[in-house]
């Protein structure tokens, strides 16, 4: 009987209920879009921010020994110890290997270039194949880790020994242009080499005043075959929290459960720790300015999405409440008659809440479908790729939509209990 009454009640005033469902659907569309994007925004933003540089630097352990006195570094191994290039694949063989977007080893040697003395010749990977057991087509280099590098011209090939990038500052000072030939002499070994300038490099860093060539060239000129001085790594991470900060101070003070949680979470500190475990002679240090900046930006974006979602919830609830108030006024005589025939206030109350559940459910389903499509559009426009769909969002959005409709109906429905049949049927209310 109740469901028959609910069906009849729902069919009355269909236009108003359709309008309420549309209101809920619009809010559900926005909530679905924000929810879907917020789940993926961490990785999307982290990938975008990788273009501003790496967030982990790996150097030989001896380089990390603090021996500074009065601002002077007395470490006798400073600049004399190296990492093995053969160990680079091990850095992609850790628990969080899929989070490592790219790595770029570097090796520097001072050279003479014309009248310029002590110019840095920097060797690195540009876009070098590095086959891995689970990814034979893997490529890495500064084109993956340093997206902010700008080249006016062509990038050198990693297997080319006669191509070089010249920093814009150095090129301007020497009057070099694309296609020019430069000759350098290694100050330590006396080895000389000539290069064709394939492009002019702008980074805003020390590279602007240097010559950048494939890593193998510097290894050969400096007599350091198979060696690298440091490795820049770009890794997808999550913002640091209290646990990661505690681990950063001293992992020995973590309980077993805390250590397992930290180790199995993509914090920049845990990824760095695992790199040190994989390469015995390595000291991996997060670049905290970059990591903290990523965490702050992602956290603020997610907070903004939450605020907008809550605003959509409140707005939809207020819209439904306004429509329900109007519906109760229009149906006051009907409600009074139902009460006069013996219907309890709670039963009528449930009848209106049942209508709200139907309106919320229909609006939620429609809004969820529209929201998924809108989220994909936003992902393509903002990030250039689609976003990952979390199918659990469907039930959640429908439940939230029903909650919106119920929240908007609760107060108007309570007004039903205040309606006196005698006053309504005699036209006093």
- Tokens representing 295 are 């965490």
Asked whether residue 419 carries a pLDDT value surpassing 70, the answer given is no
Asked whether residue 292 carries a pLDDT value surpassing 90, the answer given is no
pLDDT in tens, 152-205: 999 999 998 899 999 999 999 888 899 999 999 988 888 889 999 999 999 888
- Tokens representing 216 are 């193998």
Rounded Cα distance, 323 and 342, in Å = 26
- Tokens representing 231 are 């490795």
Please give the angle made by the CA atoms of 48, 40 and 407, to the nearest 5 degrees.
Answer: 135
Rounded Cα distance, 379 and 402, in Å = 27
- Tokens representing 301 are 């974006």
Neighbours of 123 (CB within 10 A): 24
Backbone angles phi, psi at 100, to 5 degrees: -85, 105
Backbone angles phi, psi at 119, to 5 degrees: -80, 140
Rounded Cα distance, 31 and 315, in Å = 12
Closest-CA residue to 270 (of 300, 289, 290, 291): 291
* Strongest mean pLDDT among 147-151, 211-215, 372-376: 211-215
Q: What is the pLDDT of residue 42?
A: 61
pLDDT in tens, 370-379: 888 888 887 7
pLDDT tier for residue 74 given thresholds of 50, 70 and 90 = very low
CB 361 within 8 A of CB 21: no
Asked whether residue 91 carries a pLDDT value surpassing 60, the answer given is yes
- 30-44, 71-85, 366-380 — which is least confidently predicted? 71-85
Rounded Cα distance, 85 and 70, in Å = 34
End-to-end Cα, the chain, rounded Å: 28
In 218-270 the beta strands, taken as DSSP E runs, fall at: 227-228, 230-235
pLDDT tier for residue 38 given thresholds of 50, 70 and 90 = confident
Q: What is the pLDDT of residue 101?
A: 86
When the pLDDT of each residue in the chain is averaged and rounded to a whole number, the result is 79
Name the 3-class secondary structure at 349.
Answer: helix
pTM of the model: 0.65
> What are the helix and strand counts (H, E) for the chain?
13, 16
Taking the alpha carbons of 37, 296, 148, 288 in that order, is the dihedral positive or negative? negative
Strand partners, 234: 102
Give Cα 398 distance to the centre of its chain.
Answer: 26
Asked whether residue 321 carries a pLDDT value surpassing 80, the answer given is no
Q: Give the start-to-end residue ranges of the domains of the chain.
A: 2-47+294-425, 55-286
pLDDT tier for residue 337 given thresholds of 50, 70 and 90 = low
Strand partners, 107: 123
Using the structure block, give the residue that is written with the tokens 């549309």: 22
Task: Calculate mean pLDDT across residues 47-75.
Answer: 64
Of residues 36 and 372, more confidence is placed in 372
Of residues 52 and 163, more confidence is placed in 163
Asked whether residue 9 carries a pLDDT value surpassing 60, the answer given is no
CB 345 within 8 A of CB 417: yes
Rounded Cα distance, 376 and 389, in Å = 9
Neighbours of 95 (CB within 10 A): 14
Q: What is the pLDDT of residue 298?
A: 66
pLDDT tier for residue 212 given thresholds of 50, 70 and 90 = very high
Asked whether residue 98 carries a pLDDT value surpassing 80, the answer given is yes
**Virtual torsion, Cα 142, 90, 128, 110, nearest 10 deg:** 60
Q: Report the DSSP pairing between strands 181-186 and 100-113.
A: antiparallel
* Strongest mean pLDDT among 32-36, 209-213, 320-324, 374-378: 209-213
CA atoms within 13 Å, Cβ hemisphere of 291: 26
Asked whether residue 60 carries a pLDDT value surpassing 70, the answer given is yes
Rounded Cα distance, 194 and 184, in Å = 6
Task: Calculate mean pLDDT across residues 18-34.
Answer: 81
- Tokens representing 108 are 């520097």
Taking phi over 0 as left and psi of -120 to 50 as alpha, with beta for the rest, 79 belongs to: left
Within 8 A by CB and 6+ apart from 114, the residues are: 174, 182, 183
* Strongest mean pLDDT among 229-233, 241-245, 246-250: 229-233
- 26-30, 275-279, 316-320, 376-380 — which is least confidently predicted? 316-320
Of residues 60 and 35, more confidence is placed in 60
CB 294 within 8 A of CB 237: yes
Rounded Cα distance, 378 and 385, in Å = 9
Name the 3-class secondary structure at 186.
Answer: strand
């Amino acid at each position: 009987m109740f469901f028959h009454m609910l069906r009849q009640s729902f069919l009355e005033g269909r236009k108003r209920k359709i309008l309420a469902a549309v209101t809920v659907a619009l809010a559900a569309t926005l909530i679905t879009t924000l929810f879907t994007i917020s789940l993926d925004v961490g990785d999307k933003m982290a990938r975008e921010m990788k273009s501003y540089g790496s967030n982990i630097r790996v150097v030989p352990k001896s380089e990390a020994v603090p021996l500074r006195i009065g601002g002077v570094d007395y470490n006798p191994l400073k600049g004399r110890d190296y990492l093995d290039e053969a160990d680079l694949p091990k850095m992609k063989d850790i628990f969080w290997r899929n989070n490592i977007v790219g790595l770029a080893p570097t090796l520097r040697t001072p050279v003479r270039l014309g009248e310029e003395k002590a110019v840095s010749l920097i060797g690195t990977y540009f876009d070098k194949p590095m086959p891995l057991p689970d990814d034979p087509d893997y490529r890495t280099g500064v084109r993956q880790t340093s997206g902010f590098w700008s080249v006016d011209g062509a990038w050198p090939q990693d297997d080319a020994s006669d191509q070089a990038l010249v920093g814009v500052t150095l090129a301007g000072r020497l009057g070099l242009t694309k296609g020019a030939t430069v000759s350098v002499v290694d100050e330590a070994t006396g080895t000389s080499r000539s290069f064709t300038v394939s492009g002019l490099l702008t980074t805003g860093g020390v590279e602007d005043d240097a010559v950048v060539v494939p890593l193998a060239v510097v290894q050969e000129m400096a007599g350091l075959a198979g060696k690298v001085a440091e490795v820049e790594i770009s890794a997808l991470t999550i913002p640091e929290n209290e646990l990661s900060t505690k681990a950063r101070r001293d992992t020995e003070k973590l309980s077993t459960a805390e250590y397992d949680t930290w180790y199995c979470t993509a914090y920049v500190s845990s990824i760095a720790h695992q790199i040190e475990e994989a390469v015995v002679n390595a000291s991996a240090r997060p670049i905290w300015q970059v990591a903290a900046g990523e965490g702050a930006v992602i956290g603020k974006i997610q907070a903004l999405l939450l605020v907008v979602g809550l605003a959509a919830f409140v707005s939809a609830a207020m819209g439904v409440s306004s429509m329900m108030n109007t519906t109760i006024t229009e149906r006051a005589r009907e409600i009074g008659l139902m009460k006069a025939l013996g219907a309890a206030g709670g039963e009528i109350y449930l009848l209106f809440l049942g209508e709200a559940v139907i309106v919320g459910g229909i609006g939620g389903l429609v809004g969820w479908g529209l929201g998924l499509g809108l989220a994909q559009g936003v992902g393509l426009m903002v990030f250039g790729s689609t976003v990952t769909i979390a199918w659990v969002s469907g039930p959640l959005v429908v439940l939230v939509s029903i909650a919106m409709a119920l929240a908007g109906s609760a107060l108007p429905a309570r007004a039903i209990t205040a309606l006196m049949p005698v006053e309504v049927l005699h036209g006093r209310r």
